[in-house]
Structure formats: C-alpha cells, structure tokens
Amino acid sequence: MRIAIASDHAAVELKAVLREYLIGLGHEVADLGPETADRVDYPDYGYKLAAVVAEGVAERGVALCGSGIGISIAVNRNPACRCALVGEPLSAALAREHNDANVIAMGARLTGEDMAKACLDAFLGTDFGGGRHGPRVSKLSNPQF
C-alpha cells in the first residue's frame, strides 16, 4: 500500500519510527516531513498530507503532532479526507470499518511507539464495512447545511 506520513516538530521522532515500521511491513512510504525537530506549523503538514491522499498519490495517510488534534483538524479541511484521531486500536479499526477513514492521526505526546504501531496495524488491517455506513460516509464529503 502507498502511505504518506507527515508530522510537526513534536512528532518527528515518532514519525521516523512509524515510517521504518511501515517500510518493514512492505508498504511504500512517502515521508512528507519535516526532517528535523525545528519548529514548524502543523497545518502546513496536515494540508500537504491531505492533498497527497486526496489526489490518490497515497492510499492512506498518517498524521502526527504533539496531541494529534491540530493536524487532524488540518487534514479534515480537505473534503476528500476522513482523518480519525485515535489513541488505541479499537478506535483505529472502527474509523476504517464505520467511517472509511483514509487518514489516521495520533499524538506523539500521548501515544507511545508500541500503541502507535498497534493503531496502525488495526487501521491498515480493517476494511470499510459499507452497508448502512456508506450513505453516512458520503455525507461527510458532501455536507448539507
């Protein structure tokens, strides 16, 4: 699977660990940055990740920042992205099964490496359930205000 990964400065170390983990699982990984722990703005990297997923360059995305909150908000500004902030595997699996999430977000200050890997495994190993969830997911990309 083609997976894009991006973070802010607070999550650059976790990003490196998860990038290597994903490569070890046989995935093609595009690291969208940053390269160092120098301060950056998470929206810039969230928007970059969202564009790559929305354009189909990557099938899935992994968004990381200190809490996971800010970057998930940035990713979700793109109507083609459904980014779920998770901290444990059940939420990661349900995000795929019920919401067809194509991006997972986690907080490096809140989620340890082993838990982050478990969340990735659940996220990547779960298919969208379809059925009654399909029309609801369609509404996520086509809001009716």
Tens digits of per-residue pLDDT, 65-92? 999 999 999 999 999 999 999 999 999 9
pLDDT digits (tens, 9 = 90+) for 113-132: 999 999 999 999 999 998 99
Model confidence pTM above 0.85: yes
List Cβ neighbours of 128 (8 Å cut-off, separation of 6 or more). 96, 97, 100, 137
CA separation for the pair 54, 104 (Å, rounded): 14
Which residue has 């992994």 as its token pair? 62
Catalytic residue from among 9, 27, 83, 98: 98
65 is catalytic: yes
* DSSP conformational letter for 10: G
**DSSP-based three-state secondary structure for 72:** helix
Given a cut of 90, is residue 142 above it in pLDDT?
A: no
At 141 the pLDDT is 83
What is the number of structural domains in the chain? 1
pLDDT digits (tens, 9 = 90+) for 30-61: 999 999 999 999 999 999 999 999 999 999 99
- Residue 7 C-alpha from the chain's centroid: 10
* DSSP conformational letter for 80: T
Residue 40's domain is classified under what CATH number?
A: 3.40.1400.10
Given a cut of 90, is residue 144 above it in pLDDT?
A: no
Domain that holds residue 113: 2-141
Catalytic residue from among 65, 81, 83, 119: 65
Residue 77: phi and psi, rounded to 5, are: -70, -25
CA separation for the pair 85, 95 (Å, rounded): 9
81 is catalytic: no
What does the pLDDT average to over 1-15?
Answer: 98
